[in-house]
Amino acid sequence: MSPITGPGLGLGTWPARRARISPHAPALSDGERAVDHAELAGRAARIAGGLAERGVGPGDRVAWLGVNAVATLETCFAAWRLGAVAVPLNYRLAPAEVGYMLDDCGATLLVHGPDADDLVAATAPRIPVVRGVEDLARGPARDDAGAGLDDPAVLLYTSGTTGRPKAAVLTHGNLTWNTVNQLAHVDVCSDERTLCISPLFHCVGLSQVTLPTLFKGGSVELVARFDPAAVLGRIAEAGITSFAAVPTMLQMLCESPSFAGTDLSSLRTVVYGGSPVQERVARAWLERGVALQQGYGMTEASPGVHMATRDGTAAHPPTSVGVPHFFTDVAVERDGELAPLDDEPGELLVRGPHVSPGYWNRPDETAASRRGEWFRTGDVLRAGEDGWAFAVDRVKDMIISGGENVYPAEVEAVAVTHPDIADCAVVGVPDERWGEVGAAYVQLRPGTVLDADAVRALLAGRLARYKVPKYVRFVDELPRNASGKVRRVDLRAAAAVAEELS
């Protein structure tokens, strides 16, 4: 198992609530099945034996495809027990995208949930496939292979700026130190009942919610798909004490007809990230007695970098991402020089034991993301006199739509495969529901005719739905600067006026 998980760690009690860590306390549930900490450890050992019988060994990649489920984490823990690397994949992707990732990581085996049957069939992997974990769980129990802190634990795919997704390597040490950072910032105890509504192929669901809670002997209820009414119902029925979300989810929850009547008194901690929450949304939760804590991070940092403190949230705007985590160093780069994070904006640089060593089989991109021991975030931040930080802008052109990262280059690379499209540029435009959505500016070849639906159909056949731009506009020529680069600032200005888009 991972160094940060396991039954009965014997870390003592939390005096305020006198709760004890117990191997027989609930660990995971998903509405279909539940296991306590001891059962989770036992099943992970047996599933590891089943994986070993199918040829999985230290360093091999074991992919998982499916919605949040107990089996998702059992697969990860079993892989870690063998010294193998877990690769949870986004079940919202198109078959071609899933196939690319399986090939890119060199997966030895694909394990999938029943919800992914059709996607797996359409992907037609060229590696062995196992449906569910029950057959694997019939294997002989396997002892830990002794993975070290510097050994890879998980590959998490993040969209590449060159049009191809890349996998960030997170080691066992990265996950461990991120957990320590989270526990230093947020009170988590063995009586914690966490609702995991963020997908486990994202760092937030895995690292900010699940692993810290399990480390302290608490329980995690896994939600397969986000439904506002169902989530609110579970908070009240199960006495949920914490969850993490993206701003779109928080907005949908507080706009649900059942929000006003839901008992939220059990909630102690609600953290969110991805983009600032609208002030009216933060106020709606605060009026119900729940203070939201915004965090800032990225997959490459496992993911925590900054987070608002519970006590400080009321005194700061909801747009603040708070202060750095305990074992995290931050700085900014301005005009090629390193400087402290202060009120003058600059590109944020991060270092710490939770920062990824790099990208899987991407030495050039790994090198480009570094300045010595510092990781370049690509985001511009500033901080007030008290150290509370604010995200100002992005150096990169990433769009965050409903908490999902969308890189324009990936969308543009697909668009220009159409014989009638000469060029394409995608920018983000504000959206009340999703935070941001894509706006595609398409330059057609002379003498050709194409409509917006045809462009969207092309993209929908190759990309996940959330990556397909909401707006498509045709232009005679894309604006460019003297060096030939597209002037995205001009396109963003035009895209901000939604009435002009079609």
Identify the CATH number of the domain in which residue 104 sits: 3.40.50.980
Structural domain harbouring 49: 38-147
Residue 4 is assigned to a structural domain of this protein:
no
Q: Are 302 and 178 in contact (CB under 8 A)?
A: yes
Residue 363 is assigned to a structural domain of this protein:
no
Closest by CA position to 333, among listed 299, 381, 292, 261: 381
3-state secondary structure of 49: helix
Residue 332 is assigned to a structural domain of this protein:
no
438-497 per-position pLDDT tens digit:
999 999 989 999 999 999 999 999 999 999 999 999 999 999 864 467 888 889 888 876
Give the pLDDT of residue 14: 34
Closest by CA position to 295, among listed 281, 314, 312, 275: 275
Q: From CA 26, how far away is CA 221, in angstroms rounded?
A: 10
For residue 484, give every residue at least 6 positions away whose Cβ sits within 8 Å of its Cβ, in sequence order, or none: none
User: Tokens 């609530």 correspond to what residue?
Assistant: 17
Q: Which of 120, 147, 174 is the last residue in one of the domains?
A: 147
Give the pLDDT of residue 372: 96
Q: Residue 435: left if φ>0, alpha if ψ -120 to 50, beta else—which one?
A: left
Residue 61 is assigned to a structural domain of this protein:
yes
Rg (CA), the chain: 23
Give the pLDDT of residue 9: 27
Q: Are 133 and 91 in contact (CB under 8 A)?
A: no
Q: Are 98 and 171 in contact (CB under 8 A)?
A: no
Give the pLDDT of residue 251: 86
Give the pLDDT of residue 17: 46
Residue 393 is assigned to a structural domain of this protein:
no
Number of compact structural domains in the chain: 2
Q: Are 436 and 469 in contact (CB under 8 A)?
A: no
Q: From CA 163, how far away is CA 365, in angstroms rounded?
A: 13
| Edge-to-edge order in the sheet of strand 435-444 | 421-431, 435-444, 471-475
CATH code (residue 405) = 3.30.300.30
Q: From CA 259, how far away is CA 264, in angstroms rounded?
A: 9
Q: Are 214 and 36 in contact (CB under 8 A)?
A: no
Q: Which of 147, 168, 197 is the last residue in one of the domains?
A: 147
246-256 per-position pLDDT tens digit:
888 998 999 99
How do the pLDDT tens digits run along the chain, 502 residues long?
443 333 322 223 334 444 567 999 999 999 999 999 999 999 999 999 999 999 999 999 999 999 999 999 999 999 999 999 999 999 999 999 999 999 999 999 999 999 999 999 999 999 999 999 999 999 899 988 778 999 999 999 986 545 578 999 999 999 999 999 999 999 999 999 999 999 999 999 999 999 999 999 999 999 999 999 999 999 999 999 999 998 889 989 999 999 999 999 999 999 998 777 777 788 899 999 998 999 999 999 999 999 999 889 888 888 799 999 999 999 999 989 999 999 998 899 999 999 999 999 999 999 999 999 999 999 889 999 999 999 876 777 778 899 888 878 789 889 988 999 988 999 999 888 999 999 999 999 899 999 999 999 999 999 999 999 999 999 999 998 644 678 888 898 888 765 454 4
For residue 305, give every residue at least 6 positions away whose Cβ sits within 8 Å of its Cβ, in sequence order, or none: 295, 296, 297, 298, 324, 325, 328, 330, 348, 350, 377
DSSP 278-318: PHHHHHHHHHTT--EEEEEE-GGGSSEEEE--TTTGGGS-T
Closest by CA position to 98, among listed 126, 77, 73, 78: 126
Closest by CA position to 250, among listed 236, 268, 232: 232
> How many H-runs (helices) and E-runs (strands) does the chain carry?
14, 29
For residue 1, what are its two tokens?
Answer: 């198992």
Give the pLDDT of residue 494: 84
Give the pLDDT of residue 146: 72
Residue 116 is assigned to a structural domain of this protein:
yes
Q: From CA 91, how far away is CA 249, in angstroms rounded?
A: 19
Residue 270 is assigned to a structural domain of this protein:
no
For residue 453, give every residue at least 6 positions away whose Cβ sits within 8 Å of its Cβ, in sequence order, or none: none
Closest by CA position to 466, among listed 410, 423, 389, 402: 402
DSSP 362-397: -HHHHHHTEETTEEEEEEEEEE-TTS-EEEEEESS-
Give the pLDDT of residue 447: 93
Residue 279 is assigned to a structural domain of this protein:
no
Q: From CA 174, how far away is CA 328, in angstroms rounded?
A: 12
Give the pLDDT of residue 181: 97
For residue 278, what are its two tokens?
Answer: 């609208």
Give the pLDDT of residue 354: 98
Closest by CA position to 63, among listed 98, 11, 38: 98
203-241 per-position pLDDT tens digit:
999 999 999 999 999 999 999 999 999 999 999 999 999
DSSP 215-236: HTT-EEEEPSS--HHHHHHHHH
Q: Which of 96, 127, 147 is the last residue in one of the domains?
A: 147
For residue 279, give every residue at least 6 positions away whose Cβ sits within 8 Å of its Cβ, in sequence order, or none: 317, 318, 319
Stated pTM of the model: 0.82
